[in-house]
Each structure stands twice: as C-alpha cells, then as structure tokens.
C-alpha cells in the first residue's frame, strides 16, 4: 500500500471493523475495556467457551469420580485422541495423526528419541541459531543420550541478518552427516515463516527426516501437512489456540511412520484395548497416540475443547486472511505514524513469509514496552531490542491496532519511556 493512498484516520479503522466478518468472535473472549491486548502470540486470552468446557470437566470429576474416565460428554480416556481429531483440520492432517499430549519440549524429546537414529555417517541434528532456546536444550540432551557431543553434532544454520534464516542456507547445510532436522515453522522473534514444503522436499531427497515446532504458527496460519509430507511436528496450545497457561501441547506424526516404536514409551503409549491388560510388554497404539507418555492432564486439556469449537466455526482460512490484513494495516500505520522515531520493522513484509505478529526493533525497546503497559497496551519484549505486537484475528479489532500505534507515537513524542530502566523484567 502506497503511503499517499493510505488512510491513517480513526474513522477508517472503524470502517474496517464494520466490514469485519469475524468481529462477532471478539464477544467470545474476556476483554478488559481499558486494555489493548497484543500478546496473544505468547498467551492467548480466555474465551467463555474455554471456561465452560473447563467447568464441565471439573463437574465431571465431581459427579463421576473415577468413572469420569468413561462417563460424561467428554470421557477422559480417549479425550486426547478426540481433541487430536478436532485439531487435525488446523494443520491439514488426518485425525489419527494428531494427539493432544505433553508439552512442546517433552513432545520434542519424544520425537527426537524416536526419529534420531544416528548410523554410519548420519549422526548429526540440524537446527537454526534463531530458534527458541528450549528446542536447542532438548536436542542437545538427546544428542548426549545417544553418546555424541552436542558441540560437534548439533549443527545450527547461521542467520545473515540476525532476524531471518534463508531456506537456501538450510538446504546447503543438509549434508550426508545430517540424520534429523528440527526447525521452527515461524521464527519466534521476527515472525518469519519457513517454507516447510520446500524444506521437507529437500530433506527427503537426501534421506533426512524433518520435523517442525509449530508454536508460533498453529492457530495463526494454515498448514497442509497431507500435501507437505512432513515427518512430525510439535506445538503448544496456549498461544493462538487460547487453551490457557501451561495447557497440554500437541504433536503430529505422519501416518507413514505408524508402527515405529516410541523412543520414550509410557502408560498411555499403549493400544487402548490392551492398556489395562497390565502386561510388561508394550503394545503401542497404531496411531499418533503411541507417542503419548503419561496420563492426560485432564483439567489442563479441558479449555482446549471450547477453544477449538470457536476455531471450527471461524475457519482457519478466514482467520489467516484477517491476520494478514491486520498485520499489513499495522505495518502501514507504523510506517506512516512513527517516522524518524528510531523504529525498524524486523519482520518480513511479504504475506507469504510473515506469521501472526509484528516485530519492531528499537534501542529503547525494553523501556518502551514498559511505557506501553502503563498506557494500557500489552506488548511482548524480546531481547535484545525487540517489541512483538500480535493483533489476533479472533479478538483484536482494527481500532485496537489504530489506538496502539497512536499510543506508541505519544510515548515516543513525550519521551515517556525515559522514566523506566531499559532492561527486561523477570518475565519478558
């Protein structure tokens, strides 16, 4: 959008909201009137339906006791599988390929323990230097378990600019020594989307298995796993999927791998019909359920039921369309309103390469984030100098976007940020 045709007025923001076909979903969420919440890429807001489903499963515990495993509207015994079926359309997978279980990191441990099988020359894992730290911790741990040195056997692709990773650089690093590749679908700082289809094709040409961390893409953009042929994926459900703090995560295993024994076996890895035979020889489930480990955390799963009902009604294609439009609008406002204030857009501007959030860089980023909070805007700081702003399609409005940029402009013009120390808090 050219600056000379861009309408930066408040009235235009209101017009966009009137035309928004998803605007009614805002009423599904608990929103404070005096707060603009732009941190849904870290923790999504509570919806009334998520609250309802949590209370319903809490009541099932009260009503049925142990029989809640097989009684009620959502029996607990197969709840992980049922929710996997509800999640599957969001990533373009078959229901049996998805399971709700564990956390991002425990699921990544499971996938690495299962799919990292160093043999001959193929002994190394390929990742990138901009990925979230916990993924690196898990991969380093799995390399040590297999008897190798993480310093030499974890290969991390370098970034050319400190913000993004070039797919060509990843492909060039897919040498004959690589046994497994684990990458983010969307880089958590800059919001860059990696081309999962292209990278998977290139990995498979070289006989390498590849998986993705979907934490910053699931619920924010469409995926087509049936077409892309990815080997596995892991994710959390508390960001764009709004399942609550510390909610149970999810994993995907391509059905072509069904029958591969889980690297980390446990009670719920069992085939359902055999589980209570109490045998000391595991008979794994014949679907993604084989990669569960422990008993489902029922009360932490419960909010996801209500949340996924909302996603089914809104439609992932519609949500992605609005998300792209809102982030484009925010970028245009930032370019128009915050000239000469020291900001740099660090996220990709091309729609095909941009996830669900904006990444602003500024040397005073930490104290600017503190000033935004005082003014009723909830951002997200990422060291060393990043401000993440996520206008979420389900509950943010164009008015939210407009007001947040105007408040940011005021903070900078009045130098309000100078009253704060330019360092992050305990939780950034």
297 is in an annotated binding site: no
Q: At what angle do helices 133-145 and 104-115 cross, to 10 degrees?
A: 40
Residue corresponding to tokens 């996520």: 390
Q: Which two tokens stand for residue 284?
A: 């794994």
362: which residues sit within 8 A by CB, 6+ positions away? 342, 343, 344, 368, 385, 387
Which residue intervals of 239-359 are DSSP H helices? Answer: 298-314, 316-337
- Partners of 234 in beta bridges: 213, 251
Around Cβ 107, how many Cβ atoms within 10 Å? 29
- Where b means 16+ CB within 10 Å and e means fewer, 118-131 reads beeebbbbbbbebb
Q: Is 94 annotated as a binding residue?
A: no
What b-and-e string marks burial along 228-244, b requiring 16 or more CB atoms within 10 Å of the CB? Answer: bbbbbbbbbbbbbbbbb
Is 135 annotated as belonging to a binding site?
yes
295 is in an annotated binding site: yes
Whether the CB-CB separation of 123 and 179 falls below 8 Å is answered with yes
What are the CA-CA distances from residue 277 to residues 2, 29, 270, 274, 427 (Å)?
67, 44, 10, 5, 46
Q: Which stretches within 343-397 are classed as H helix?
A: 365-374
Q: How many CB atoms lie within 10 A of CB 225?
A: 25
Q: Where are the alpha helices (DSSP H) in 339-427?
A: 365-374, 398-413
Which residues is 344 bridged to in the sheet? 361
216 assigned to a ligand binding site: yes
Report residue 298 as tokens.
């029922």
Residue 213 annotated as part of some ligand binding site: yes
116 is in an annotated binding site: no
> Could you tell me which residues are annotated as the binding site for pyridoxal 5'-phosphate?
104-105, 132-135, 213, 216, 238, 267, 295
Annotated binding site: 104-105, 132-135, 213, 216, 238, 267, 295
């Amino acid at each position: 959008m050219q600056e000379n045709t861009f309408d930066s007025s408040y009235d235009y923001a209101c017009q966009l909201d009137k035309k928004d076909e998803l605007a009614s979903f805002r009423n599904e969420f608990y929103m404070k009137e005096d707060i603009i919440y732009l941190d849904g890429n870290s923790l999504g807001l509570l919806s009334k339906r998520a609250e309802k489903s949590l209370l319903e499963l809490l009541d099932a515990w009260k009503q049925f006791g142990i029989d809640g495993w097989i009684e009620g509207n959502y029996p607990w015994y197969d709840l992980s599988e049922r929710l996997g079926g509800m999640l599957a359309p969001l990533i373009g997978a078959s229901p049996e390929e998805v399971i709700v279980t564990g956390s991002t990191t425990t699921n990544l441990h499971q996938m690495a323990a299962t799919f990292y099988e160093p043999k001959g020359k193929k002994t190394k894992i390929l990742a990138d230097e901009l990925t979230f730290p916990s993924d690196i911790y898990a991969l380093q741990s799995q390399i040590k378990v297999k008897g190798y040195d993480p310093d030499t056997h974890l290969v991390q692709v370098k970034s050319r600019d400190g913000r993004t990773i070039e797919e060509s650089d990843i492909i060039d690093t897919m040498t004959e020594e690589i046994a497994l590749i684990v990458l983010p679908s969307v880089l958590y700082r800059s919001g860059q989307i990696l081309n999962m289809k292209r990278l998977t094709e290139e990995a498979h040409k070289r006989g390498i298995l590849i998986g993705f961390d979907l934490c910053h893409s699931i619920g924010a953009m469409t995926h087509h796993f049936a077409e892309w042929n990815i080997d596995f994926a892991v994710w959390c459900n508390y960001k764009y999927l709004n399942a609550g703090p510390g909610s149970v995560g999810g994993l995907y295993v391509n059905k072509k791998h069904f029958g591969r024994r889980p690297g980390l076996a446990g009670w719920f890895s069992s085939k359902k019909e055999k589980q209570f035979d109490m045998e000391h020889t595991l008979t794994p489930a014949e679907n993604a359920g084989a990669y569960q480990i422990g008993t489902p955390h029922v009360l932490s799963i419960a909010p996801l039921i209500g949340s996924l009902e909302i996603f089914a009604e809104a439609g992932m294609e519609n949500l992605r369309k609005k998300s792209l439009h809102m982030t484009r609008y925010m970028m245009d406002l930032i370019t128009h309103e915050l000239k000469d204030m020291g900001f740099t857009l660090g996220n990709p501007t091309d729609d095909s390469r941009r996830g669900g959030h904006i990444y602003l860089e500024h040397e005073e980023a930490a104290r600017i984030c503190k000033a935004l909070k005082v003014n009723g805007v909830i951002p997200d700081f990422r060291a060393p100098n990043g401000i993440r702003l996520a206008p979420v399609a389900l509950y943010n409005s164009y008015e939210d976007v407009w007001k947040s940029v105007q408040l940011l402009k005021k903070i900078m013009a009045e130098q309000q940020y100078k009253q704060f120390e330019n360092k992050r808090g305990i939780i950034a």
